[in-house]
Amino acid sequence: MPTLHAVLDAGLVAHIGVVDHGQPIVIPVAYARDRDTVLIHGSAASRMFKLLESGSPACFTVTKFDGLVLARSLFESSMNYRCAMVFGTSTRLSGQAEVDALKVITEHLMPGRWDHARQPSPKELKATMTLSLPLTEFSIKISEGPPDDLEGDLESETGKAIWAGHIPMYEQLGEPIPDQYVPEGTPVPDYVASWNR
């Protein structure tokens, strides 16, 4: 499970899909891994979340795109990526378990923020549905490294004249930009300034 954990921990956005009256529905969600579960939250009024709460089977997918792979043939050209798919049914969390889960999600997305922002109010908690999905059934796909060209393409004069390799893709956070209500000259908090992706 370490490989699964590593892929899930690297991501910030997942896509979760269910079938509603024969129609597949997929939405993006913020999430976090907590030991051997993934946690998501959304509107308590959401049709998708109501389906998940009712026990509809779901597919939860996280993909990290790591770069393009340029082979000597278009057929062998590809991309490098890490992908984790988790299958199962969700459980709705409530009370302190929900608050704890929201903290885990917050800290995964914005480390340090939980202690530096207002906590959820009872009204906000009522409007939120927080779900837990166990990591019991899953699939992992990883593609990495340079192209895997056919031997004929490596040996032919045409193939020797074609540039091949891979182009890494990097994720990077920009400089924090305060909103219009932050007093001028207020420094960016240290815990925000330390974020790095």
* H-assigned helices in 122-178: 122-126, 151-155, 157-160
Query: How far, in whole angstroms, is CA 97 from its chain's centroid?
Result: 22
Query: How far, in whole angstroms, is CA 75 from its chain's centroid?
Result: 28
1 confidence band (pLDDT: 50, 70, 90): confident
Span 20-35, mean pLDDT? 96
Tens digit of each residue's pLDDT (9 = 90 or more) over 131-179: 999 999 999 999 999 999 999 999 999 999 999 999 999 999 999 999 9
pLDDT of residue 168: 97
Span 109-137, mean pLDDT? 97
**Which letter, b or e, does each residue of 38-74 get, where b requires 16 or more Cβ atoms within 10 Å of its Cβ?**
bbbbbeeeeebbbbbbeebebbbbbbbebbebbbbee
Where do we find the tokens 């202690």?
115
pLDDT of residue 31: 98
The CB density around residue 103, as the number of other CB atoms within 10 Å, is 18
Average pLDDT, the chain: 96
What is the domain class of 2-193 according to CATH?
mainly beta
**Cα→Cα distances 41→63, 98, 130, Å:** 19, 9, 4
Span 97-107, mean pLDDT? 98
pLDDT of residue 27: 96
Tens digit of each residue's pLDDT (9 = 90 or more) over 2-13: 999 999 999 999
Tens digit of each residue's pLDDT (9 = 90 or more) over 37-48: 999 999 999 999
Q: Fill in the amino acid letter for 72.
A: R
Return the biggest CA–CA distance within the chain: 70
The CB density around residue 197, as the number of other CB atoms within 10 Å, is 8
Tokens of 124: 């906000």
Whether the per-residue pLDDT at 124 is higher than 90: the answer is: yes
Distance from first CA to last CA of the chain, Å, rounded?
A: 23
Q: What is the pTM of this model?
A: 0.91
Whether the per-residue pLDDT at 197 is higher than 90: the answer is: no
Span 71-79, mean pLDDT? 97
pLDDT of residue 14: 98
Tokens of 28: 């993006």
